[in-house]
Structure 1
């Protein structure tokens, strides 16, 4: 099922309405959708390198707006919407443990790593940020920085290196992003507990 969803999302890149679809996918990815907007963004930017930065800005704005929607979902509709879903999937206890241990610094770190590297998925962090009442202003700023940096870096790489970088991105970007997220987490632990 996930493969079909991935293929459907990828097929949207060839449509005339692709830019609108990119905005829609980036928006819903930040709060509920399974497939990252990169699946649509990369082929669009490769097909039209002259619009790579424009697409990056569209994806960033839509992603941040979707993150705000996720924050509001967590903040105002946790009991009515999110909790029943978590209970259905047997993830409620894990989420509650994360909720109880999550402080402002931890949420900020997770917003940056999930925005830049999808670790953990952005939708989890946006909802969790709303649940623990993470300051909305800080949330918006960190989402703009993390998501904007990700899409703008992809735009620069795709414009500079074109098709060869696509294979590299698809094969190794996840590993590089995971390593970068690991370094950020280690840095947070060192600053928090060693200093």
Structure 2
């Protein structure tokens, strides 16, 4: 059953859309607050299809993510009782407990690490507000971390460019199904 190739083709087509940069920024913004899909899924194809714009796309992504992170921080700071219900409902409770223990142990350093962590970034932005982390250090550290991550991702994708995109397309079904199998196995092991 071949489904990933069509999805890949559509994603590459969308990455060239005239409003792609806006949607990339929007996804990055809402991902830092509540959206479950990281902006990398847009940043990578956009950087591969337009390598000359990759650094610009990375900067848009970082700035939007930090602005979204500030909203997440405010939610944690002012409305945690409301947000706590959604953390449990969306299945982020274990991630939340990890983030809290990391904040207690390492403080501001956690915000830097969070930019690269597989734990959803929104967990850290909200947690920073709940823990009443100093706001300016939070914003500065978040920007450095997110910019470093997205610049690295964009640069690697741009480096591969259209040639890598074509090679990736040839293997996309194997990669896609491998990820599905790994996700199912991880779910079965971790539940």
TM-score normalised by structure 1 residue count? 0.70
Equivalent-residue separation in structure 2 for 1:40 and 1:12 (angstroms): 9
State the distance in 2 between where 1:149 and 1:35 align.
Answer: 19
- Quote the Cα distance in structure 1 between the aligned partners of 2:156 and 2:91: 40
Equivalent-residue separation in structure 2 for 1:96 and 1:68 (angstroms): 20
Q: Deviations over 1:133-179 (max 9, x none)?
A: 01111111111111101111223223333243895xx97xxxxxxxx
User: Could you tell me which residue of structure 2 aligns to residue 42 of structure 1?
Assistant: 44
Distance 1:159 1:133, change over 3 A: same
CA RMSD of aligned residues (A): 3.2
Alignment of 1:1-195 (within 5 A): 10=11, 12-79=14-81, 81-88=82-89, 95=96, 99=100, 102-103=103-104, 106-115=106-115, 117-162=116-161, 163-164=163-164
- Structure 1: which 5+ residue stretches go unaligned? 172-195
Instruction: Give the Cα–Cα distance (whole angstroms) in 1 for the partners of residues 112 and 55 of structure 2.
Output: 21
* 8 Å Cα contact 1:22-1:37 kept in structure 2: yes
Cα 1:50–1:68 shift into 2, 3 Å: same
Q: Secondary structure at the match of 1:67?
A: helix
The unaligned stretches of length 5 or more in structure 2 are 176-191
Give the Å deviation of 1:99.
3.6
Size of the aligned set, in residue pairs, is: 162
Q: Distance in 1 between matches of 2:91 and 2:145?
A: 30
